[in-house]
Amino acid sequence: AQSVTQLGSHVSVSEGALVLLRCNYSSSVPPYLFWYVQYPNQGLQLLLKYTTGATLVKGINGFEAEFKKSETSFHLTKPSAHMSDAAEYFCAVSDFWGDTGNQFYFGTGTSLTVIP
Amino acid sequence: DTGVSQDPRHKITKRGQNVTFRCDPISEHNRLYWYRQTLGQGPEFLTYFQNEAQLEKSRLLSDRFSAERPKGSFSTLEIQRTEQGDSAMYLCASSLGLAQYNEQFFGPGTRLTVL
């Protein structure tokens, strides 16, 4: 089975500072990797995903992530934090059962606080 | 496209009671998933439907839990004889297609509190 580790359950950054949220995964096969964001009282929303091809993936709201196979990492970054980025962020890896479907394994999440 | 909806958004029940949650996926999405999320944790997979067929169930899904997706449209998740440990957010997601990397679209969740 796959697993995901998110280092740092809480991250605080100043507005305008770099955001770095860490995600490491374990997978016996080439993974499909995702970052989701969850705002209070809302469902999870996809930020970006890596399937194949270019290892630097750009997502919504200025976020991007780089797949590093040698480090089994998929860290999420944003050059300049905005107050609206304050939310819970989840990294996920997709496992699959042949042709019958796929299951997402989520990390425990990182709560991002943006300080004015 | 109004997104994935879930009903109710909140449910408070007494231990031992039965509860049922409903999920309406995005129309034409053939795959539907149930997850459970407890405080400080990420969503944990419970079960999955492809159209009306329930194809996978997690070990987390005890005999007290049952899920259905009649006619491959909406889905219900029932918990019988609720226990305090069942208190959690229950999330529903749907996706379209057969690829393993297809995005799952999540609903807002149903928060269950068992007293």
Q: How confident is the model at residue A35 (pLDDT cuts 50, 70, 90)?
A: very high
* pLDDT score recorded for residue A65: 97
Query: How many pairs of residues across A and B have Cβ atoms under 8 Å apart?
Result: 67
Q: How far is A115 from chain B (nearest CA, A)?
A: 22
Query: What mean pLDDT comes out for the span A24-44?
Result: 86
Which residue has tokens 């290892």? A55
A44 contacts B91 by C-beta, under 8 angstroms:
yes
B109: left (phi over 0), alpha (psi -120 to 50) or beta: left
* pLDDT score recorded for residue B40: 84
Is the pLDDT at B100 greater than 70? The verdict is no
In this structure, of A12-16, A105-109, B1-5, B38-42, the range with the lowest mean pLDDT score is: B1-5
The answer to whether the Cβ–Cβ distance between A108 and B40 falls below 8 Å is yes
User: For the segment B72-81, what is each residue's pLDDT rounded down to a tens digit?
Assistant: 899 999 999 9
More confident residue, B100 or A41: A41
Instruction: Give the whole-angstrom CA distance, residue B7 versus residue A97.
Output: 29
B76 contacts B67 by C-beta, under 8 angstroms:
yes
Token code pair at residue A31 = 């993974």
Query: Which are the contacts of A99, defined by CB distance < 8 A and separation ≥ 6?
Result: B98
In this structure, of A18-22, A86-90, B54-58, B65-69, the range with the lowest mean pLDDT score is: B54-58
**Residue-averaged pLDDT of chain A:** 90
DSSP one-letter string for B101-115: TPPPEE---EEEEE-
DSSP one-letter string for A63-74: -EEEEEGGGTEE
Token code pair at residue A58 = 């750009």
In DSSP terms, which residues pair with A36 in a beta bridge?
A46, A90
User: For the segment B51-95, what is each residue's pLDDT rounded down to a tens digit?
Assistant: 999 988 888 888 999 999 998 899 999 999 999 999 999 999 999
* pLDDT score recorded for residue A37: 96
Residue of B39, B90, B104, B110 best to disrupt the A interface, most CBs of A under 10 A: B104
* pLDDT score recorded for residue B82: 97
In this structure, of A48-52, A106-110, B75-79, B100-104, the range with the lowest mean pLDDT score is: B100-104
